[in-house]
């Protein structure tokens, strides 16, 4: 019996570049600086909290919006850091990772024909979800090589059909950080409109050189119209645990939960207990920026003797590098060749553009041990 023919809802989507390059790294035994995950252990305390929760019997469904004690601690944390109090009962939801939160937020508010403004290059989950919801993505390219927003262009994209603007700071893949002036410019654009904001802030604590994370929660006019997405996995070095959360004013969160409950219903219970325990020690996340800044600086120092041109990395755990002094290959061909021939896997930045814009730039992840970074840099300096 033949398999029924179907019309793909995502005809332009294939396997993500992260899967492709990580598989290639395994096949060629390459050092994986491609996919964004740490190769060092997480906190022993975090594991102890999770193990204790499992042994104490917390192994069944958590409440749909998440464990209340965790939501209460997140409310207190957000008020301390960003000056806005979110009601833990009605305005905070725990999700199975940041990507699931992005899916629920977009699906909750975007309908057929709605326009969504996104900034290129962008995290690759945004566009497929917009398309699944029947929306239309309007792209605004960040100005290369600084990767800054062209606010004049953004204004030309806004219309009565604009339903959502998606922002991401610190930014993946570029490492750029939005300034307070950027937020004020956005605030002016959406004032007196019905535009909703989706702010992807999963790298909120990984920010460098004395900068301050400009969460939309800091700006009352923006916060009143925003979903804000965060990630425990990024903060606590456990990307495989897939736990995140979303903040939003009650009317938006009500719609968010309508989708969330049918995507997953609830999120891993022992992990929620573990993160609640970790939140009692704010030093972990307040010192995270300096922890990763040391890795960034170490990696950049190691690559100073290479032929790569390192672009600024203001936040996240990614370092972009131009290679046009090395090769005229497309960035995809270059990334594959470096993986196969030299043994270091990276990500070509063109995959984060809808039109495959190729500026001869690749992305390295420096969330690695000193040994991993040293070994990788020795190889890269020989290219």
Tell me the per-residue pLDDT of 77-120, one tens digit each, with 9 for 90 and over.
999 999 999 999 999 999 999 999 999 999 999 999 999 999 99
Give the pLDDT score at 12.
Answer: 84
Q: Reduced to 3 states, what is the DSSP secondary structure of residue 226? A: strand
Spelled out in words, what is the top-level CATH class assigned to the domain 17-42+286-380? alpha beta
- 0.85 exceeded by the pTM? yes
Provide the sign of the torsion angle of the four alpha carbons 77, 276, 279, 313, taken in this order.
negative
* Choices 3.40.640.10, 3.40.50.300, 3.30.300.30, 3.40.50.2300: CATH for 59-284: 3.40.640.10
Give the pLDDT score at 383.
Answer: 96
Between CA 303 and CA 379 the distance in angstroms is: 10
Task: Please give the radius of gyration of the chain, using alpha carbons only, rounded to the nearest integer.
Answer: 21
Give the alpha-carbon dihedral of 13, 14, 16, 17, to 10 degrees: -110
Distance of CA 250 to the CA centre of its chain: 24
Beta strands per DSSP E along 6-152: 31-32, 92-95, 115-120, 136-141
Give the pLDDT score at 99.
Answer: 97
Q: Where do the structural domains in the chain lie, given as residue ranges?
A: 17-42+286-380, 59-284
Between CA 87 and CA 74 the distance in angstroms is: 10
Give the pLDDT score at 19.
Answer: 85
Between CA 209 and CA 102 the distance in angstroms is: 28
**Torsions phi, psi of 319, nearest 5?**
-125, 120
Give the pLDDT score at 154.
Answer: 98
Tell me the per-residue pLDDT of 169-195, one tens digit each, with 9 for 90 and over.
999 999 999 999 999 999 999 999 999
Q: Do domains 17-42+286-380 and 59-284 have the same CATH topology?
A: no
Give the pLDDT score at 53.
Answer: 98
The residue that leads in pLDDT, 14 or 246, is 246
Give the pLDDT score at 110.
Answer: 98
Average pLDDT of the chain is: 96
């Amino acid at each position: 019996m033949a398999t029924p023919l179907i019309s793909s809802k995502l005809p332009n989507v294939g396997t993500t570049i992260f899967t492709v390059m990580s598989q290639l790294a395994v096949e060629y035994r390459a050092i994986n600086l491609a996919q964004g995950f740490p190769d060092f252990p997480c906190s022993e305390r975090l594991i102890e909290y999770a193990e204790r929760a499992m042994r104490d019997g917390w192994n069944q469904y958590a409440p749909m919006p998440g464990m209340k004690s965790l939501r209460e601690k997140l409310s207190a944390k957000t008020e301390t850091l960003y000056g806005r109090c979110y009601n833990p009962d009605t305005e905070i939801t725990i999700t199975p990772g940041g990507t699931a939160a992005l899916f629920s937020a977009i699906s909750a508010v975007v309908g057929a024909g709605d326009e969504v403004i996104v900034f290129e290059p962008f995290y690759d989950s945004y566009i497929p979800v917009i398309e699944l919801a029947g929306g239309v993505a309007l792209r605004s390219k960040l100005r290369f090589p600084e990767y800054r927003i062209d606010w004049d262009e953004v204004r030309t994209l806004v219309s009565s059909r604009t339903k959502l603007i998606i922002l991401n700071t610190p930014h993946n893949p570029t490492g750029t950080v939005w300034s307070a002036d950027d937020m004020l410019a956005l605030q002016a654009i959406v004032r007196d409109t019905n535009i909703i904001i989706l702010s992807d802030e999963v790298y909120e604590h990984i920010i460098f050189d004395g900068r301050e994370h400009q969460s939309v929660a800091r700006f009352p006019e923006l916060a009143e119209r925003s979903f804000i997405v965060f990630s425990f996995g990024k903060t606590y070095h456990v990307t495989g645990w897939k736990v995140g959360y979303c903040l939003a004013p009650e009317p938006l969160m009500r719609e968010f939960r309508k989708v969330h409950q049918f995507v997953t219903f609830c999120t891993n219970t022992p992990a929620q207990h573990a993160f609640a325990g970790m939140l009692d020690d704010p030093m972990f996340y307040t010192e995270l920026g300096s922890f990763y800044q040391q890795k960034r600086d170490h990696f950049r120092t190691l690559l100073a003797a290479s032929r790569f041109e390192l672009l600024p990395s203001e936040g996240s755990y990614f370092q972009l590098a131009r290679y046009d002094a090395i090769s005229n290959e497309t960035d995809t061909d270059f990334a594959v060749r470096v993986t196969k021939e030299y043994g270091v896997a990276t990500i070509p930045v063109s995959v984060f553009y809808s039109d495959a814009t190729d500026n001869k730039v690749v992305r390295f992840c420096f969330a690695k041990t000193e040994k991993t970074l040293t070994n990788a840099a020795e190889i890269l300096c020989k290219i």
